[in-house]
Amino acid sequence: MAAENVLIDARALAALAPDEVLVVDCRFALADPGQGKRAFLDAHVPHAVYASLDQDLSDLSKRGLGRHPLPDVDAFARTLARWGWHRGQRIVAYDAAGGALAAARLWWMLGSVGIAASVLDGGWQAWSASGLPVEAGATLPTPSAITDLRFDSCRVVYVDTFDRLRRQPATLVLDARAAARFRGESEPIDRAAGHVPGARNRPFSQNLAPDDHFKPASVLRQEFTALLGPHAAADVVHMCGSGVTACHNLLAMEAAGLPDSRLFAPSWSGWVSDPSRPVATGD
């Protein structure tokens, strides 16, 4: 997808006909997994369906792959069919966290199976502030036929490949967690504090302006180009706590015209699931 199309503003979304677009509400709170669904039932973008990070965008039965393992592609295809998606229909995802929980995750998953998708810039807050119509209650879409999807394995790496890549000077690992967690000063969720040796920190919050819209593409490009230095975008492997907010940096780079970086899906929670793996602290 063209870089300018990975983000869409509220009024542009409102102008699309319902059959042109499938809108997916991805609001989620890590501390209260049911909060997003309750918020959806209270009010949502008209015709939107709800996606739970835990139930629809992850497979929590998988062990050793972090807190939010990616679902198998067949399971994802069944989810899309349950939502009523059909080939050729655009998908727009939104949340209430600037895209981080978990609209960017869905955007990345869709791109990994060749489905064009966008994230609503500014999220639910932008839609609400625009005075656009909302709906309440459950959405009951008509299920569609299950589409045979193919996952692009070049977009993701797991522990063995990641461990090899991170040792190579050509690879740049970017960690999207907050600076205090990266430095090991605080770790409220995972087994150990710190970061993968050699990684650099790019908190996903730095992609956003104070109003929770993404910074202009030119600003994002300048910031990421300075961070990458001699590295190409394809040399970058993104990570975070569980492979969710890392997708925000992937989205920001795509919006900046810097595609083709990869995701370390297990991320920090998967890395530290084995106590023998090395951990660094500080900057």
Which residue numbers are catalytic?
A: 240
> Angle at CA 171, nearest 5°, toward 166 and 177?
70
Give DSSP secondary structure letters for 194-221. Answer: SB-TT-EE--GGGGB-TTSSBPPHHHHH
- Among candidate residues 92, 82, 80, 81, the one with its CA nearest the CA of residue 18: 92
Q: Which residue type does 200 have? A: R
- Among candidate residues 150, 143, 77, 88, the one with its CA nearest the CA of residue 116: 88
Give the DSSP letter of residue 44.
B
The DSSP bridge partners found for residue 76 are none
User: CA-to-CA distance for 30 and 178, rounded, in angstroms?
Assistant: 15
- Pairing assessment for the beta strands 262-264 and 236-239 based on DSSP bridges: parallel
- Pairing assessment for the beta strands 117-120 and 49-50 based on DSSP bridges: unpaired
Q: What is the 3-state secondary structure (H, E, C) of 134-158?
A: CECCCCCCCCCCCCCCCCCHHHEEC
Helix (DSSP H) and strand (DSSP E) numbers for the chain: 10, 10
